[in-house]
Structure 1
Amino acid sequence: MADDLTRIHEELASDGVYVHPSLRGLVSKADEADLEHQVTAAEHTTYVVVWPLRDNDTYGGKASDLLTRLHDKFPDPGIYLSTTTRLEPTDYSSVEVDGRQWGVPGQPDGELNDYSIEMVVDLEEHQDVPSAMSRSIELLSMDPARVEKLQDKLLAEHSADYREENPREDDDGWLPGGLTTVVVALVAVFVAWRVAVSFRKQAKPAPLPKSALKQIRAARARETLSLAHDESQALGEQLDELEIAPGDDQQAWQAALDHYAAVRRLLTPEEPDELDAVGALVLTRRGRDALETARAGKAWAPSPTCYLNPLHGRAGKERRVEWQGRTLEVPLCPDCLTALRRKKAPDILDVVRRGKPVHYFETDAEPWASTGYGSLEPDLVTRLQAGLQ
């Protein structure tokens, strides 16, 4: 990692832009030259880092971690922009840019001062890295009030598009996937992102009989349990076959063993509760990650899963979600973020309780509900052990 940071710093000190060699297919030499010209002309010292972030990499897939470590090692003042794990567009998301700043006159260190910039780039749905990064630099040079007006305009357009595609009927009933109707206000951690997103009833297809819905839910529960058994068995076999090598991280190894032991306890009953089966999957995947990290000789820390649905895997940025009068800052996966941005209902994990579908975090299933399967409180193993005592 130290060599990575040194290479990045040397290139930034030279021309203000670093492009990882593996991403040359996304950012050409000509694109890089254009970005270099932009950062040279910027009002404040600006740096651009194009890095192949991945969820399970040294930086946990977080641009904030990469940039913070870079600045800690080489504390040059300025505005730092970086790519995220969203390097290419998909059917559900566009290219994303993240940023940090240090030593900018009159502005606090840390998050970008004008947070509307990231929101505008996201709403404009840029399809390639050069476009998203160039637009970010351009927005940095604009008056913040103008950027905020642009953000409001884009939000209004997206909202109008949503209303046109999804005519509102009434406020009662069900959302697709059996979710109860709720109103969720997604407000970014940043004050500038003042967005309220309402999930309304969609135009309904012909309703399924209750017996069919019950069978569908039962099938989903069986699938989750089967997957938990399969993945935990694979982890157990890995742990049996491997031995701790001199270069391995012993604490990470122990974490892998502890997670596997917790999984076996959860799957001991003949028919575990569906939320326990989901918990077993989350713990198994954390155990596997801990084992891989141990074998690489690195310290391990659990990565948060998506708060709305832990089956979505690792989460990215935290967002402030207002839910039934409560406000939480929770990590969300790219799919849920995209659904919220597009004013669509995210795929929230729900289960049947007393004959009615409810979201998992509205149940009394612990430690899952209060910790968000580790998204709010990372140490799931300790919480689980405390509950079993």
Structure 2
Amino acid sequence: MADVDAIVEDLTRTGVHLGPGTESWLSAEQLAAYRQTVRESGLPVHLVLVQPPEDGGISSGDDLLVRVHDAGGPDGLYIGVNNVWSFTEEGEPAYNPTLPDGSEVNIALQQWGAVRGSTDVVRDADSILRAGGPDGTPLELGDGVVAVAEQLLAGTLPAAATAAQDAASARHEREDAAGSTQVGTGSSGGTDGSGPGDAVLGAVVVLLVVVAAVLGLRALVRRGRARTRAQTFALPDSVLDRVREAGDAELARRARQDVLALGERIDAADLDGSGAPAWAAALDHYDAAGRLLPGDPTADVDPLDAVGAIALAGRGEEALAAARRGRPFEPSTPCFLNPLHGRAARGHALEHAGRRVEAPICAACRRDLQAGRRPDILDVVVRGRAEHYFETDREPWASTGFGALEPDLVRRLHRGGHR
């Protein structure tokens, strides 16, 4: 188990903690460049590299970062590691940051406080690490952390993240159009003609996302080390206060990209016949995600179905990683308020209209609530007006929170139907 106090001490002194066995993950030149950028500028960026435990869950690194900050770690952006996947074969494209030996890294990112005036740089940092290389390819971890620090210092991180995302989208489109990768037989099911071979569209339309409040839902049994705060957050009433551009089409494009990437990884894994429950779970999640996307690549995709496909593809990646390591599959818990925020850091008591609910939320939503700001909740337009996704009649999304309130999302899709 990682020594949290030792990590806090290292971060306070140098901003870097390299645990045993991680010294080779960054070259001396990369580490020197990172230290120089961060220390000379005073950037609140903290690097915590710790070998993931053999019995650790898919979000063990995120949990460690939360514990480090709770133990007195400084505010800022934390970069850590959830998992190291050492099964990349020669010639197989990487979809995550890599180590010098070619292994792929599932990055853990958390933020507390403002970094260069922004209270949410996590998603942009993730884009740089995953797609900041040539033609939208993932960066090597050492190059990635240096790039994130340099872009933050220069104030160009958002623009660089957008360029990386566009490059990655174009790369997937070229690969799909050229037929350079094929989805393995048996990994799809070929249902409804949909699948990762569909072309990815880049048209842009408008999605209304409302910053609003949450109504009570049933209690959630917390997982892992997540701890409920004694404080109950009183949430504001729902109000439409901004419109976010590039909504529906961008969600559809990301959904198709994520499902395509999962299919390619399943095909490369070639574990058919292994009988491992985690492998079966990867196939089930891939099939369920593909069913949510229309077979016609020019057809509109319902935004909640697109988010559902993204969530299912993410869990399929987790299941595949578990299968490759011979481990049981334990799905991660997304942020209840907005599953696109990624993993929830812990459960929190929320209150609205006299009702309370304990639900898992991400660090960004927690910071907004603590500061009295409206959290960024996923909302959609239904019959001409904006509604919180969990107030709609769209199932299984409304009652499960895209897996935040009920872990087995695939079973709910099969059992409760889809409407």
TM-score range, shorter chain: 0.5 to 0.7
Query: How far, CA to CA, are the matches of 1:310 and 1:324 in structure 2?
Result: 23
Contact 2:212 2:238 in 1 (8 A): no
Quote how far apart the aligned CAs of 1:379 are: 0.3
Establish whether residue 305 from structure 1 lines up as the match of residue 331 from structure 2.
no
Establish whether residue 223 from structure 1 lines up as the match of residue 260 from structure 2.
no
Q: Residues 265 and 59 of structure 1: is their aligned pair in 2 closer, same or farther, counting only changes over 3 Å? A: closer
Q: Residues 321 and 55 of structure 1: is their aligned pair in 2 closer, same or farther, counting only changes over 3 Å? A: farther
- Tell me what 1:338 maps to: 367
- Tell me what 2:6 maps to: 19
Q: Residues 191 and 26 of structure 1: is their aligned pair in 2 closer, same or farther, counting only changes over 3 Å? A: closer
Contact 1:322 1:328 in 2 (8 A): yes
- Tell me what 1:193 maps to: 230
Contact 2:12 2:74 in 1 (8 A): no
Quote how far apart the aligned CAs of 1:353 are: 0.6
Contact 1:53 1:85 in 2 (8 A): no
- What's the secondary structure of 1:19's corresponding residue? helix
Q: Which has the higher helix share?
A: 1
Corresponding letter in the other structure for 1:252: A
The 5 A counterparts of 1:1-389 are 5=1, 19=6, 25-26=10-11, 52=50, 58-61=56-59, 82-83=67-68, 89-90=75-76, 178-179=210-211, 193-199=230-236, 219-244=246-271, 250-268=276-294, 270-388=299-417
Corresponding letter in the other structure for 1:237: E
* % identical equivalent positions: 38
Q: Which runs of 5+ in 2 are unaligned?
A: 15-47, 79-111, 116-207, 217-225
Q: TM-score, normalised by structure 1?
A: 0.53
- What's the secondary structure of 1:26's corresponding residue? helix
Q: What is the root-mean-square deviation of aligned Cα atoms in Å?
A: 4.5
Q: Which runs of 5+ in 1 are unaligned?
A: 30-49, 67-80, 94-123, 128-175
Q: Residues 381 and 196 of structure 1: is their aligned pair in 2 closer, same or farther, counting only changes over 3 Å? A: closer
Contact 1:253 1:290 in 2 (8 A): yes
Quote how far apart the aligned CAs of 1:232 are: 0.5
Q: After TM superposition, which residue ranges in structure 1, 4 or more long, deviate above 4 angstroms?
A: 50-57, 62-66, 84-88, 124-127, 180-184, 189-192
Query: How far, CA to CA, are the matches of 1:303 and 1:286 in structure 2?
Result: 7
Query: How far, CA to CA, are the matches of 2:405 and 2:264 in structure 1?
Result: 30
Query: How far, CA to CA, are the matches of 1:296 and 1:266 in structure 2?
Result: 28
- Count of equivalent residues: 248
Query: How far, CA to CA, are the matches of 1:348 and 1:370 in structure 2?
Result: 15
Q: Residues 345 and 245 of structure 1: is their aligned pair in 2 closer, same or farther, counting only changes over 3 Å? A: same
Answer with 1 or 2: which has the greater Rg. 1
- What's the secondary structure of 1:335's corresponding residue? helix
Higher RCO, Cα 8 Å, sep 6+:
2
Query: How far, CA to CA, are the matches of 2:338 and 2:214 in structure 1?
Result: 16
Quote how far apart the aligned CAs of 1:327 are: 1.8
Contact 1:52 1:85 in 2 (8 A): no
1:221-274: CA deviations, max 9, x gaps? 11001100011011111111221299x881111111000000111113533321
Q: TM-score, normalised by structure 2?
A: 0.49
- What's the secondary structure of 1:331's corresponding residue? strand
Query: How far, CA to CA, are the matches of 2:282 and 2:228 in structure 1?
Result: 39
Contact 2:57 2:330 in 1 (8 A): no
Quote how far apart the aligned CAs of 1:24 are: 6.9
Query: How far, CA to CA, are the matches of 1:254 and 1:332 in structure 2?
Result: 28
Q: Residues 85 and 242 of structure 1: is their aligned pair in 2 closer, same or farther, counting only changes over 3 Å? A: farther
Quote how far apart the aligned CAs of 1:322 are: 1.6
Corresponding letter in the other structure for 1:58: G
- Tell me what 1:155 maps to: none
